[in-house]
Every structure is written in structure tokens, then in C-alpha cells.
Amino acid sequence: MDLKEIMEMDSRYYMNTFGQRTPVCFEYGQGICLYSSDGRKYYDFLGGIAVNALGHAHPALVEAVCSQARKLIHCSSLYYIESQARLAKMLAEVSCADRVFFCNSGAEANEGAMKLARIYFKKKGMPEKYGIITLRDSFHGRTLATVAATGQEKYQKPYEPLMPGFRHVQKNDIEALKAAIDDTTCAVMMELVQGESGVHPLDRDYVQAVRRLCEEKGLLLIIDEIQTGMGRTGKLFAYEHYGVEPDIFTLAKALAGGVPIGALCAKESVARAFEPGDHGSTFGGNPLACSAGLAVLRTMLDEKLPENAEKMGSYFMGELKRLSETHGIISGVRGLGLMIGIQLAQDKAVEVKNRLFGRGFLVGSVGTSVIRLLPPLIINKDDIDIFVRALGDVLASL
């Protein structure tokens, strides 16, 4: 099928939640590049929105998925699953968590985190504690509870009335958080770098103050590491940058390199609240997804990808800041590791994105003035140089 036929079929049969998509259909990928059905090559600086951490067609991931698919894709968690146990053990060993539960997406992991927080207090004899405080401009997913948690009106308005029990406060304002806590509050949930709203890292002092405040008030701290986790920010988990440990954190996106998976990770004292029958999932933790996750995590550690993300991220941001000296339209560059936002002084993000696409580069945009970069963690300096040159040309052509 050619692209035009695919577009026609999509517009006739697929629910129109994505509107006018970028007009391309990819056939295969290799490393940091994608190749379209009409034979063009694209440098992927969006990485499937922080999913393709190993790039495309990484041999370790391909081998793990193919050999597991040949043996057993699914069997139900009513039975023991070796790769599920191994991936849980490995995640517990490399993080502050003691126990893990697998599901199928980020939103579902956050749902699990919020359920765990509620049941933790119920079982402590404090059923009145169910409220969760999150930040404005946050993003926690698209299900009804995670939409209520998300601090952005555009995701909430169409689905009112919202699930009760959520309050949103301004980020980096500890007094606002203090003021929002009451006897019903059970947890604070936050991303450490807000991705979907334009790549905003939280202040280190603020995050440490939040951790202390949760301790003082007996609240659980839930960190949404769905986008920031798995090496993206230059550490395996973003909380390592901040010198804090969450009681619960969630993973998804890069965890299995594109095979759907989510993970809910918690300290033993909290995880214990889930007892037989309290939570579950049909697909979650299946042999295919867990084998993929094991291959991703092993490769990340073997190839030192978090370190590469740290090095390449600071090189990338340095080059972008240099570019901003000659191109006044760049008013700021922010981020952590390979999670980077380029702030434009004019509402030209979509135009810049489209012109980069025309030159064979994929990037994201947030709103009208932020370009968002989430390249595979295997990226090298040459790739970055090629991109920065193309971006310079695009900005000069505006």
C-alpha cells in the first residue's frame, strides 16, 4: 500500500484522536534511523517519545523478542514466569525499590501506584486518607484517574466530572504544597522533569523539601519515572540526581524498548499492602514483555547507556546553547541528560518541526514554542553534530 492509501484508510476507519499525523509511514529502523515506505531516511530524535532507548532493531532486543516469541508469548500470571521474576529482581537490585509489579502501560502503572497508596493507608486503619496531590503542568496518563491526576485542563475538561481526590499545586513552591495537605491526603505524586508540558526539571531543593515534608506528614512520595526512568536523564532513574528516594515509582516507555510494559516499583513496607486479590493484570508481566525488558536493562548496563545519555546530553545542550548565540529565536535550552527542550522566542515550533521533517529529522513539539528531543540513548557526537547543523539551517531559513 502506498502512503496515500494508508492515510485514506486511516481517516475512514481509525478514531480521529491523532488528527493530521505527520505524513509518513515507517517500514523499518536501524540504530537511530528510521526508513519510510517511500525509501527516505530519517534521523529519529524523538525515539517513539522516549521509548526506543536502544534505537531501532538493537540485536539484543530483537533476539530476546524473537526467541521468546518462538517459545511462549503468554501464559497468565496464575503460573510462575521466569523472566517476570528475573526482571523484578533486576529492577529491585538497581533501584531503591524492593518489589515490582508489571502492567502494560504508563497510565496503568500510575493507576497501580495510586491504588497501592490508598490500600496502604486502608490497611493501616486510616481509610480517610485517599487524596493525592500532584503538580500543575504534570502529565500522568489518559485513564480517568490519571487524567484527574494530570495537572492540565486540556486533558481534563472533556471528561468532567473528574475522579475526586486530587489537588494540583504549583511546582517548586513548597508552601503551596504544605497548604494543600489535609487529613485526607495520602500521597504526593510528581515527575522530576515534566516532559509533556515542555521539559521542565524541578528544583533540587524543592524535591528534597517535598521528601522531608512527606516524611513529616506521613505521606507517600510517588515519583512518575515513566519518561525520566531507564537512563533517559543520565542516571538509571531521575531520583538519583535529586538525592531522594521515593516510596513508590513507576516505569513504562523505555523499559522494554517498545514492547508494551509498565512497572510499579515500591519499598517493601508499602508493597506489602498488596495482598492476593488486591490487584492484577491479564497481560502484565507476560514472558514476551519481560524478556524484552530484561534485554533492555542488561544492554543499558552493559553498554553504559545512562552514562552515554549524561555525556551526550551535556554535549547536545552545549551545542544548542552555542547555536542560540547565533540564532536569537532560541531563547532557552533546558533538560536533563537526553531529555531536552528548546524554547523558541516565537510561536514557530510546529514550523521548525515540519521543516526538520522535510530534511529527514524527527523531533517533537510542545504547544507552539517548544521543540522536544528524546533521542535513543545510543546516540553519538556525529549524530548530534548532523542534527545541530540541520537545525541551524532551518532556523536561518525561517
Ligand X SMILES: *Cc1c(COP(=O)(O)O)cnc(C)c1O
Catalytic residue among 235, 253, 348, 353: 253
Rounded Cα gap, residues 316 and 19, in angstroms? 31
**Which of 227, 278, 273 has its CA nearest to residue 249?**
227
Residue 258 binds ligand X (CB under 6 A) = no
Q: How far is the CB of 46 from ligand X (least distance, A)?
A: 13
- CB closer to ligand X, 83 vs 150: 150
Residue 112 binds ligand X (CB under 6 A) = no
Q: Which residue has the cell 502501560?
A: 105
Q: How far is the CB of 168 from ligand X (least distance, A)?
A: 15
Rounded Cα gap, residues 250 and 34, in angstroms? 29
Residue 147 binds ligand X (CB under 6 A) = no
Residue 227 binds ligand X (CB under 6 A) = yes
CA 162 to chain centre: 23
Burial 114-138 (b: 16+ CB within 10 A, else e): bbbbbbbbbeeeeeebbbbbbbbbb
Q: What share of the chain is helix, strand, coil (3-state, %, to 5)?
A: 45, 20, 40
CA 67 to chain centre: 27
Stretch that binds ligand X, among 151-159, 168-176, 224-232, 287-295 (CB under 6 A): 224-232
List, in sequence order, every residue forming a beta bridge with 34; answer none if it has no partner.
29, 42
Residue 151 binds ligand X (CB under 6 A) = no
Q: Verify whether residue 154 is a known catalytic residue.
A: no
Q: How far is the CB of 262 from ligand X (least distance, A)?
A: 6
Give the residue, chosen from 106, 258, 285, 375, that forms a contact with ligand X under the rule CB under 6 A.
106
Give the residue, chosen from 47, 48, 55, 141, that forms a contact with ligand X under the rule CB under 6 A.
141
Q: How far is the CB of 360 from ligand X (least distance, A)?
A: 26
Q: In what order do the strands lie in the sheet with 33-36?
A: 26-30, 33-36, 41-44, 361-362
Q: Verify whether residue 18 is a known catalytic residue.
A: no
Q: Verify whether residue 139 is a known catalytic residue.
A: yes
Q: What number of CA atoms fall less than 13 Å from residue 22's CA on the CB side?
A: 19
Give the residue, chosen from 53, 61, 226, 377, that forms a contact with ligand X under the rule CB under 6 A.
226
Residue 140 binds ligand X (CB under 6 A) = yes
**Which of 342, 300, 357, 350 has its CA nearest to residue 43?**
357
Rounded Cα gap, residues 259 and 254, in angstroms? 9
- CB closer to ligand X, 235 vs 253: 253
Size of the site for ligand X (CB under 6 A): 15
Give the residue, chosen from 60, 61, 103, 107, that forms a contact with ligand X under the rule CB under 6 A.
107
Residue 185 binds ligand X (CB under 6 A) = no
Catalytic residue among 224, 247, 274, 348: 224
Catalytic residue among 139, 237, 274, 361: 139
Rounded Cα gap, residues 119 and 186, in angstroms? 10
Catalytic residues: 139, 224, 253
Binding site for ligand X (CB under 6 A): 105-107, 110, 139-141, 191, 195-196, 224, 226-227, 252-253
